[in-house]
Amino acid sequence: MKQSNSLFFIAVLLSLVSCAKMEEKRYMPVNKNAMPEVVQLLDFLYSIQGKYTLTGIHNFASDINRYDQVVDSLTGKTPVIWGSDFSFNALGENQCDFRHCGPLNLTVPGNRTVPCEVLNLSTTQQRQLIVDAAIKKYHEGRIITLMWHCCWPTNGDDCNGDDIWRWADNLPSQEEWDELTTDGTELNNLWKKQMDGIAVYLKQLQAAGVPVLWRPFHEMNGVWFWWCNKPGENGFKKLWISMYNYLTDYHKLNNLLWVWNTNAPRNNPGDEAGPYADYYPGSDYVDVLAADVYHADWKQSHHDELVALGKGKIISLGEVGALPSTEVYENQPQWSWFMPWGYFILNSDNVKIAKDIYNHPRSVNLDMIDFSDQTYKLKK
């Protein structure tokens, strides 16, 4: 009996030590030259990992504060995470069909009081609005996340939305993909020219000392964007690594935390999303593993499989349509932040639950952040 008790206590002790080691495991940014603000932000994310979840909201360039204001009106809170999109200009007769993703030249989606209209601001002006807002929000203690709906490289920043939303029957051929991801080809050079244009704005943020949760080419395991549905070593992984090397080594962008943002896997015919692992470029090129959850598809496996793939790295909800129920929220504690996609916060179910989720004991809003010395920490 005594021996059994001793073995039991040893097993408990080893379990506690193992858990403590897991909690203490923190990764440095994958970019070894990351500026101190980036290192500190990532360290902050690890300090709350599994304990708290940061709240967020996406805003569009054409109405840069609108959904901040909506969240405040619904919950009485200001989210910590502020998101926006470098986006594109929608061309063609069906421009307004793509209003939902916030093209730079269209009025903001979800604002039902404003008809879909073409704006007179240029791409440069709109992207500058995003950068100026991001700098301001950062100094208020917000954490900035940026993304990029990107036209096929031959079209630069101006395209019919169907050029981005290709769907499974119109995705690039393997020959086109190989040209895109091969240094020095015409298509590869056009893609780099697009990245040069985005780097201009990321460098402004770097000069202002603003760290960015950078999540380009999201939902790559789906079948809807041109960069989707290319699994394996010569697929999306190669594109991601090329982008990482170009922005990090050539453009010397050291203010980015690299957020690899998948879609939650699903088997919907014609709207599938493949397994996370088939598109993962590896831990040397990813700081945060994220998933987008739409259609209220809150499977526990979406959370657990991303945790397993990350091996201790931060995971997050890059975009959500429906907010999780409080039960789901409590059963999936490793999400380090969530961010509703702009106007989705106005969906009837979200309106009902928003106050409960944003005011949940595990949620961190801006009023809980101490940013007095330009570092992120929780108020005591």
Active-site residue set = 219, 319
Place of tokens 């900035």: 144
Place of tokens 């929780």: 378
Strand 363-364 and strand 369-370: the pairing is unpaired
Tokens of 249: 């080594």
Tokens of 161: 């939305």
Q: List, in order, residues 6 or more apart from 334 with CB less than 8 Å away.
A: 49, 50, 303, 306, 307, 315
The identity of residue 47, as a single letter, is S
Task: Return the closest-CA partner of residue 240 out of 185, 293, 180, 291.
Answer: 180
How does DSSP assign 114-181, residue by residue?
S---B----HHHHHHHHHHHHHHHHHTT-EEEEE-----GGGTTEE-GGGTB--GGGPPPHHHHHHHT
Tokens of 183: 């240094």
Vertex 214 angle, CA 20 and 51, to 5°: 25
How does DSSP assign 170-215, residue by residue?
GPPPHHHHHHHTSTTSHHHHHHHHHHHHHHHHHHHHHHTT--EEE-
Strand 369-370 and strand 377-378: the pairing is antiparallel
DSSP label of 258: E
